[in-house]
Chains A and B, each alone.
Chain A
Amino acid sequence: MIDIEQANKTTVDRMMEARPVLIGVGRARDVIPGMRDNLLLHAGPPVTWERMAGPMKGAAVGSLILEGKAQGWDDAEALITSGAIEFKPCHHHAAVGPMAGLISPSMMVYIVENQTQGNRAYSGINEGRGKVLRMGAYSEDVLERMHWLNDVLAPVVHDALALCGGIDLRSLLGQALHMGDDGHNRLSAASLLFLKSLDPYIVKTAPNPDVASDILKTLGDNALAILNPVMAACKTMTDAGHNVEGSTIVTVMARNGTDFGIRVSGLGDRWFTAPAGVVKALYFPGFTERDANPDIGDSTITETAGIGGFAMAAAPAIVTFIGGHAKDAVNTTLDMYEITYAEHKFFTMPPLDFRGTPTGIDIRKVVEKGIPPRVNTGVAHRDPGIGQVGAGVVSAPMKVFEDALIAYAERYGFAE
């Protein structure tokens, strides 16, 4: 009989020992394995254009305009429905994307390398909050900003990273958790640490002081500037723990705005999906829950790696999203210990006496205790073209864990 404990220990040890380092920025077509000219990568499990959520459709249309393949919605949609464009999950290409998570071939992406096991992961340049492509907006100003990020900011940051020798993201995240970040929805400290690491080099790699100033201001104003590198870092960690025979640890949690999907280390590349839930959120003025698209984005890779919602105890300020008490943040983390395999060796939380964050979601525990993983997330408008309407918390649907457990039982002989 399979030694589940040993398999899970192997998985979680590999996840924790992974040491992701941000080493550069490159064009998706050039650096992401399997990336092709007619391919668009998106967040979450696989989804067809017909079932695709509004914000993801908006981001897809925006991406095609950005690529110069379309002028607007109608010809973009015509192109897509003609079958000329292929959609695949970022997760199938060692990539991750927040919210709609669209990565098109000419977009610039951060390159994160796990220097323990050697695998890499990729994620785009973060645009900031509000009316942005990843939230489904694709107006001219949105695309203008994307161009600037890709064409101006990205090369400078790449050169700066080369000059500074890369940024150790595990160590940066460990520091940020001690500065009030959860590593997912609150990355204020991490983004400043990121900026601090890069700015001596950006002033050297920027073509002139005006560009340097613009880039530093852009990075400094965006409290989520480091979200994408962090997600890619988490992806390298969970990928390091993937495909361990007999392991019941979740290695991917991702949503495409229609479905919530997971993958399990011992169950290969199979997705287990269920309809994505509605986020309990604090909405921006003028928006309500009726405007909200269901849960969307690959950013749940952070919870999968043991931070984000699981590390909420470290980030009491985050409860402003849900209008709760600081104690609620601690309780969320305590709940997550119930469904995880280990406490993180490198991510610790001062309010819990430096206890390690709950790491390695075990499908057995989730199903037995009926406690789904808690996720902190942003909320996109359900219609394309509008953007972010709020932020809040959501639970993963139990069905994906139940289906995975049954599949595990069948695969490993626990069904009868």
Chain B
Amino acid sequence: MLPDAAWVLVSVAGRYAAVVARNALRLGKHVFLFSDNVPVEEEIQLKAMAAAKGLLVMGPDCGTALIRGIGLGFANKVRLGPIGVVAAAGTGLQQVTARIHQLGGGVSYGIGAGGRDLTEKVGAVTFRQGIDLLARDPETSVIVLVSKPPAPKVAEEMLQVARSAPKPVVVNFIGRPASTWQMDNLYFATGLDDAARLAMELTSPPAPPLPGEGSIPPPSLAGKGVGGSGFAPTQRYLRGLFSGGTLAYEAQYLLQGYLPKVWANAPLNKADRIPNSLVSQEHTIIDLGEDEFTVGRLHPMMDNELRIRRLMQEAADPEVAVIMLDVVIGYGSHPNPASELAPAIAKAKATAAAAGRYLEVVAVVTGTDEDPQNLVSQIEQLRAAGAWVDASNETVVRYAGRLLRALNSQYPIPNTQQPVDLATLQRPLSAINVGLESFAENLIAQGVPAIQVDWRPPAGGNEKLMMILERMKGN
């Protein structure tokens, strides 16, 4: 009876599928769950049970999967190779893996999660297991994540999980516009084809240097780490104090790639509007050039007084880790903004240090060396005060973004899953097929030992008796 089979393929009618899958899990088998019409409550319960046992439930409604070159369900004949795919999108998985094959590449695993896995209810249990096992699999060098439109919150969580993978991860969440095309080890594809192409590029070492990247030294927490003279454990948030509206917008846009939510008085999305512009909360970007601040007062490009007061206010907040400023010079602006801002920055940092905190102040200076205020001189004054300064808004925002993400990822999403034992996937595949006979035939055609179970609904399909039997079983 193939007692060492690691897999059970289930394709019986949906209302019986959970019972069969649960029995497979009780026997310590991974489950490929093709059946559809499985109630979502059953899916949640099955996946919780599987995660606690370090087993996979691929599905329900999982049409396809690839396990080390062997296709389960509907699958293409795809070369074995170093790209691992996790998908909550059946044909998406087929398209990406087929394209990788056409491009000359190969696939280690194609893990199907089922179409509902990335909903908030199900909480991406299988998706997370897939990322985790591919991150640990020594034969996988690049991971590709594919999903139909996921729940935004779950998508963010999965990106955070993916960031902890020690290898490049190509992401194609259809319908979730990427704010950036790369972020640390994450590469955002514009489509399935692009995902396949990107994955191929990333498997050919060394990964090509990407334009714009590489010029920024990776953010280091060295000397700024939590404890000692570094950041205090309370310090997690950004405060951006801008004079330039467009620079503030761009900062918000770019930070989407790094932070779950940024409040603003001039937000990109209404939902992010800060309730009180005078009081920051969590990550906040304030455009001090907005009308609410300029009634009866000069614009902050000319008058630094309000901004300096707000700078000191933010510096006193024990939750603040990074403060960002923009300094826009040129005709019409303050004749020497750095002469006022630099001492304020120094004072802000000193205030934080006196309270046992490390405060990072970053600044972008917009202007030229021929401006009356002189770009170089402004930068030098700000740096002398201890600020991290660049002339590119994007560079400064990304630097701040990485720093903040590093700080916040010290609070990782708790993972209560039992890791999937890779050995169960690495040994030669053999499977027990319950349901569509063609699935067993397909495996045998691929040289895989498979047995077809002559399955009948438990208790002859009598639901009352089935319920009683399930209750008597417990887990």
Inter-subunit contact B469/A370 (CB<8 Å): no
Q: How far is the CB of A404 from chain B (nearest CB, A)?
A: 11
Q: How far is the CB of A400 from chain B (nearest CB, A)?
A: 13
Q: Does A367 contact B (CB under 8 A)?
A: yes
Q: Does B384 contact A (CB under 8 A)?
A: no
Inter-subunit contact A402/B472 (CB<8 Å): no
Inter-subunit contact B458/A369 (CB<8 Å): yes
Cα separation A405 to B474 with both chains bound (whole Å)? 16
Q: Does A415 contact B (CB under 8 A)?
A: yes
Inter-subunit contact B465/A405 (CB<8 Å): yes
Residues in B neighbouring A405, C-beta threshold 8 A: 465, 468-469
Q: Does more than half of chain A's interface fall in helix, strand or loop, or is it mixed?
A: helix
Cα separation A1 to B472 with both chains bound (whole Å)? 10
Chain A residue nearest to B456 in the complex (CB)? A370
Known contacts A402-B465, A406-B464; A370/B471 CB under 8 A: no
Contact with B along A396-416 (1 / 0, CB 8 A): 001000100110010000110
Chain A residue nearest to B457 in the complex (CB)? A370
Residues in B neighbouring A368, C-beta threshold 8 A: 458-459, 469
Inter-subunit contact B464/A370 (CB<8 Å): no
Cα separation A364 to B467 with both chains bound (whole Å)? 12
Residues in B neighbouring A248, C-beta threshold 8 A: 472
Residues in A neighbouring B462, C-beta threshold 8 A: 402
Contact with A along B433-457 (1 / 0, CB 8 A): 0000000000000000000000010
Inter-subunit contact A367/B459 (CB<8 Å): yes
Residues in A neighbouring B458, C-beta threshold 8 A: 367-370
Residues in B neighbouring A78, C-beta threshold 8 A: none
Inter-subunit contact B459/A414 (CB<8 Å): no
Residues in B neighbouring A367, C-beta threshold 8 A: 458-459, 465, 469
Q: How many residues of chain A are within 8 Å of chain B by beta carbon?
A: 15
Q: Does B214 contact A (CB under 8 A)?
A: no
Inter-subunit contact B472/A409 (CB<8 Å): yes
Q: Does B138 contact A (CB under 8 A)?
A: no
Q: Does A4 contact B (CB under 8 A)?
A: yes
Inter-subunit contact A409/B468 (CB<8 Å): yes
Residues in A neighbouring B459, C-beta threshold 8 A: 367-368, 370, 402
Cα separation A248 to B462 with both chains bound (whole Å)? 19
Chain B residue nearest to A365 in the complex (CB)? B469
Partner of A364 from B456, B460, B469, B474 at Cβ < 8 Å? B469
Partner of A409 from B456, B471, B474 at Cβ < 8 Å? B471
6 contacts between A and B (CB under 8 A): A4-B472, A364-B472, A402-B459, A409-B468, A409-B471, A414-B471
- 10 additional contacts (CB under 8 A) given A1-B474, A370-B460: A248-B472, A364-B472, A368-B459, A370-B456, A370-B459, A402-B462, A405-B465, A405-B469, A406-B468, A409-B472
Binding site for A on B (CB under 8 A): 456, 458-460, 462, 464-465, 468-469, 471-472, 474
Binding site for B on A (CB under 8 A): 1, 4, 248, 364, 367-370, 398, 402, 405-406, 409, 414-415
10 cross-chain pairs, A with B, having the tightest CB-CB distances, nearest first: A409-B468, A414-B471, A368-B458, A367-B459, A370-B460, A368-B469, A414-B472, A414-B468, A367-B465, A370-B456
